Amino acid sequence: MHTCYISLPILLLFLLSWTHQAAAHLSAASQFLAPQNAARATLRMPPLVWDSKLARYAQWYANQRRYDCDLRHSNGPYGENIFWGSGSGWSPAQAVTAWVSERKWYDYWSNSCAGDQECGHYTQVVWRKTRRVGCAKVNCSGGKGVFMTCNYDPPGNFIGERPY
């Protein structure tokens, strides 16, 4: 019988590294999740839950945009919000705030956006049937800015349906 021993300092170093990575992941998740759930709470909608499958998809797509930071959708099977900001100081909460700020353009009674304004990011965040979300952020190469995306399941924004 062979016994393997790991020294206490090495074990502690491993655990600290692992918990730091886990905390960073949870922090990023909560930065995306908390403001979206706050917007949903104002409408008495159930909170979204973080989904690691959606987060992996979001990270995969964000990595595709890392080189050009092009503000275009993945056209995948999920609902999707995307964000681009110049420079490097953008936080997940700022991206979500930009999406949620479109609330002012959404008219519930006509179920449409005012004028030529955009409000589909907001309606996706608060879409009644959506339950899960996963998001990602990348700093684009060559100082092209920051790209963030959130993916939603089930997706929302179906023509003729109200978000709530």
The interaxial angle of helices 8-41 and 92-100, nearest 10 deg, is 10
Handedness of CA 78, 155, 33, 50 (dihedral sign): negative
DSSP lists the bridge partners of residue 136 as 149
Q: Is the pLDDT of residue 69 over 70?
A: yes
Identify the pLDDT of residue 99. 98
Contact criterion met (CB below 8 Å) for 99 and 33: no
Which among 59, 91, 63, 61 is positioned nearest to 73, based on CA atoms?
61
Whole-angstrom Cα Rg for the chain: 19
Q: What domains does the chain contain, in order, with CATH numbers?
A: 28-153 (3.40.33.10)
Residue 16 has what pLDDT? 35
Predicted TM-score (pTM) of this structure = 0.83
In angstroms, what CA-CA distances link 152 with 12, 38, 139, 161? 37, 16, 22, 17
pLDDT in tens, 83-140: 999 999 999 999 999 999 999 999 999 999 999 999 999 999 999 999 999 999 999 9
For position 18, what pLDDT does the model report? 39
Q: Is 120 exposed, middle or buried (0-12, 13-18, 19+ CB in 10 A)?
A: middle
Look at residue 152 and give its three-state secondary structure: strand
Q: What is the model's pLDDT at position 6?
A: 38
